[in-house]
Chains A and B, each alone.
Chain A
Amino acid sequence: MEIATQEFKHCDLITIKGRVDSSTAPQLAQALEAANESGKYKLVVDMTGLEYMSSAGFRALLAAQRNSKKYNRGEVVLVNVPDRIREALELAGFTELFKSFDDTLTAVGHF
């Protein structure tokens, strides 16, 4: 898994590539927590290059969403969720907890 954070004026863009499982999810959780800890609660997670995500990744996203939405200070939105991952998120009942966008520009512009 590769993860990169880019800071914009109104939000942070977090790009994840590769595979997120129990082994790599802590890195994702760390990146999301790091953004929250520096006062960034409006987060765009770009999944364009994501090949795989297990429930360990879902949990990291859920924790970040919970923390970011607190006091209405922000939210986590998803971009370009690959089909297989979207289906698994749907099974887990997660799709209604996250807004999702088809392109990064619209997602960043959402904030």
Chain B
Amino acid sequence: MQSVQFSAKFEYLDEIREFVGDVARAGGFGDKDVYNIQLAADEAASNIIEHAYEGVSDGVLELSCGVQGNIITIILVDHGESFDPSEIPMPDLKADLSDRKIGGLGIFLMRKLMDEVRYEVKPNKNNVLTMTKRKR
């Protein structure tokens, strides 16, 4: 597992995607999987920056990523506001244009793109998001 810390700012999303992309590629994931893993990591990090660290300018994001066997694991830890993922409504994908909700899309995509998405709130403000995906 390789770990790296990022300042919780949107400008680092490029580097976050690059980091997980490099690990996935080195672990033998194909182009399509690599893109989807990068997208899931981006959506997760974007949510943390936007919501967990809302109004916080010096937030830190700890990203760990590794491939074991045919499974990639991405762990994102933040120390911002915790949230309950079950409270985020599923977007209504059949809704008309005018009724389409704009929120919740990131979490929805993460769940679709990865095999498993787990969120845990640990003591001392440690929010741990773990995502895994199996090589196809």
Interface residues, chain A, with chain B CB atoms under 8 Å away: 19, 21-23, 52, 54-56, 58-59, 62-63, 65-66, 69, 84, 87-88, 91-93, 97
Contact = CB atoms under 8 A, between A and B. Distances in A.
Interface string B34-50: 01101100110010011
- Contact residues of B: prevailing secondary structure: helix
Contact of B109 (A19, A62, A65, A92): A92
- Contact residues of A: prevailing secondary structure: helix
Nearest to B112: A91
B105 A59 contact: yes
Nearest to A97: B97
Interface of B: 10-11, 13-14, 17, 32, 35-36, 38-39, 42-43, 46, 49-50, 91, 93-94, 97-98, 100, 102, 105-106, 108-109, 112-113
B46 A21 contact: yes
Contacts of A19: 14
Contact of B42 (A54, A59, A65, A97): A54
A88 B72 CA distance: 20
Give me the 10 closest cross-chain CB pairs, A-B, nearest first.
A93-B93, A23-B10, A55-B105, A22-B46, A84-B35, A22-B10, A21-B13, A91-B112, A54-B42, A55-B106
Contacts of B97: 62, 65-66, 69, 97
B39 A88 contact: yes
Given A66-B98, A84-B36, 19 more contacts: A21-B13, A21-B17, A22-B10, A22-B13, A23-B11, A52-B17, A54-B46, A55-B43, A55-B105, A62-B97, A63-B102, A84-B32, A87-B32, A88-B113, A91-B112, A92-B93, A92-B109, A93-B94, A97-B100
Contacts of B46: 21-22, 54-56
B109 A88 contact: yes
B91 A93 contact: yes
